[in-house]
Amino acid sequence: MSITAPAGFRAAGVTAGLKASGKPDLALVVNDGPQHVGAAVFTSNRVVGAPVTWSRQVVADGVVNAVVLNSGGANVATGPEGFGHAHATAERAADLLGISAADVVVCSTGLIGVPLAADRLLAGLDVAAAALGTDGGEAAATAIMTTDTVAKTTHVPGAGWSVGGMAKGAGMLAPALATMLVVLTTDAVVDAATADAALRDAVGTTFDRIDSDGCMSTSDTVVLMSSGASGITPTPEDFAEAVRSACATLARALIADAEGSTHDIAVEVVGATDTGAAVAVARAVTRSNLFKAAMFGNDPNWGRIIAQVGTVPEDVAPFDPARLDVSINGLLICRAGGAHEDPAQLDLAADREVHVRIDLHAGDAAATVWTNDLSHAYVHENSAYST
């Protein structure tokens, strides 16, 4: 059950020949309406791919009719020619579908600085358009995979309407800068403002809280389309919750499939003065190579955790270092800033998932950021990706 589970959507995934492997590399998702509401969130990187520049314009009016996604080339740092390729992609899709190019979002993933094989992509679009079907969601999810080991899809049912989704990438999965592409579909009747608000809220507490390797992509795109085909208008709260649930499932799936990783690590910060403080502390820990390497070694090295906590400025996260508690998988190994239970009681090798809980004892706010461990396989893959 994927992006074609909600009514009003067709999708396809085909091989355009962009990948040397010959695996599927081009996906097309079409919203057949009756409504064509669209919203999207893009990377906050100042260096962005041509598809991001193009697609920002597309979504500005809240209307999206289709999304074209390719793997096998990011179309980033490719200059005016690259923008031309993104534009031509939208034009060809529009011609094939009888819609306006200004309503076609384009997403690309792969190496940076390499020209897109635009001829192959455009020819592939003809094949994709012919292959469109209301059962094409899985094929589309497969075509956007890079080093993902499984296609990632989700479906959240509502009362007579639903939200579908697919995702690729994240962290070690996507050595070319952790590129994450996500398409969400719904047949709920929602207006553009409601869709935009629901998507931004959902991304802020899901995709924005996974951090596999700290590297921000130039191509991250999360796009939501509503067909309204169910004829049902959910409450904004119900709709937002369904979108959040779909994003949470996909975000968790990205971490779980992070290639080269041996652990999924939840860093939960509680007792913070506000959510921003909790996120800042959690993110500091998830970005520590020393902590992540220790996790790879199944070493519950809490010293590396509190040292990272201490790097967060006091105006960002007020707390007293002498009151810090740290638990791993429920065992309180650091209490009031010092050693407590014996970490040797922990067997981190037993499970893929590790739960780190840090109590700042400064307030009532909490947040969780997910990351992976730093492994030999991560170094290997990322030292050998483009050469």
Residue 221, marked binder: no
For residue 203, count CB atoms less than 10 angstroms from its CB and return exposed for 0-12, middle for 13-18, buried for 19 or more.
buried
The answer to whether 157 contacts its own copies (rule: CB under 8 A) is no
Shortest distance, CB of residue 78 to its own copies, whole angstroms? 6
146 assigned to a ligand binding site? yes
Residue 262 beta carbon to its own copies: minimum distance, rounded to whole angstroms: 10
x-marked contacts with its own copies along 24-53 as a string, rule CB under 8 A:
---------------------xxxx-----
- The nearer residue to its own copies, 315 or 364, going by C-beta atoms, is 315
Note whether 384 binds its own copies by CB under 8 A: yes
Nearest to 187 by CA among 40, 35, 58, 67: 35
Q: Judged by CB under 8 A, which of 289, 342, 347, 351 binds its own copies?
A: 289
Work out whether 217 is an interface residue with its own copies (CB under 8 A).
yes
The catalytically annotated residue of 4, 89, 179, 206 is 179
Binder of its own copies out of 1, 102, 290, 332 (CB under 8 A): 290
Nearest to 37 by CA among 12, 9, 1, 13: 9
Q: Please enumerate in sequence order all residues whose Cβ is within 8 A of that of 339, keeping only pairs 6 or more positions apart, or say none.
A: 302, 333
Q: Annotated binding residue at 15?
A: no
Write the DSSP symbol of residue 215.
P
Nearest CB to its own copies, comparing residues 12 and 177: 177
3-state secondary structure of 336: coil
- Whether residue 179 lies in the annotated active site: yes
Q: Are 146 and 173 in contact (CB under 8 A)?
A: yes
Q: Which stretch binds its own copies (CB under 8 A): 130-138, 251-259, 331-339, 361-369?
A: 331-339
Site size for its own copies (CB under 8 A): 64
- Quick note: the x/- pattern for its own copies over 88-127, rule CB under 8 A, is -----------------------xxxx-------------
User: Would you say 326 and 334 are in contact if contact means Cβ atoms under 8 Å apart?
Assistant: yes
Alpha helices in the chain (DSSP H): 50-59, 79-97, 118-131, 137-143, 192-205, 236-256, 275-286, 289-296, 302-309, 376-383
Q: Which of 15, 154, 218, 261 binds its own copies (CB under 8 A)?
A: 218
Site for its own copies in 188-207 (CB under 8 A): none
Kindly tell me which of 276 and 310 has the beta carbon lying closer to its own copies: 310
Closest CA to 272 of 314, 324, 322, 317: 317
Q: Which of 20, 22, 79, 350 binds its own copies (CB under 8 A)?
A: 79
For 385, residues 6+ apart whose C-beta sits below 8 A from its C-beta are 111, 175, 176
Vertex 58: Cα angle to 102 and 166 (nearest 5): 115
Helix or strand or coil: residue 324? coil
Residue 290: both structure tokens together: 């020393």
Q: Establish if 296 lies at the interface with its own copies (CB under 8 A).
A: yes
Structure tokens at 321: 């270092």
- Judged by CB under 8 A, the residue of 238, 299, 332, 355 near its own copies is 299
SS3 34: coil
Kindly state whether residue 332 participates in binding its own copies, applying the rule CB under 8 A: no
Stretch 169-188 residues interacting with its own copies (CB under 8 A): 175-178
Using CB under 8 A as the binding rule, whether residue 310 contacts its own copies is answered as yes
CA distance 287 to 67: 33
Determine if 382 is a binding residue for its own copies (CB under 8 A). yes
Q: Report residue 4 as tokens.
A: 């074609």
Residue 315 touches its own copies, criterion: CB under 8 A: no
CA angle 181, 186, 189 (to 5 degrees): 140
Binding residues: 146, 168, 179, 259, 382, 387
- What is the binding site for its own copies (CB under 8 A)? 45-48, 74, 76-79, 111-114, 175-178, 213-218, 287-290, 293-294, 296-299, 301-304, 306-312, 314, 321, 324, 334, 336-339, 374-376, 378-380, 382-387
Q: Binding site membership for substrate: which residues?
A: 146, 168, 179, 259, 382, 387
Q: Which residues are catalytic, by number?
A: 179
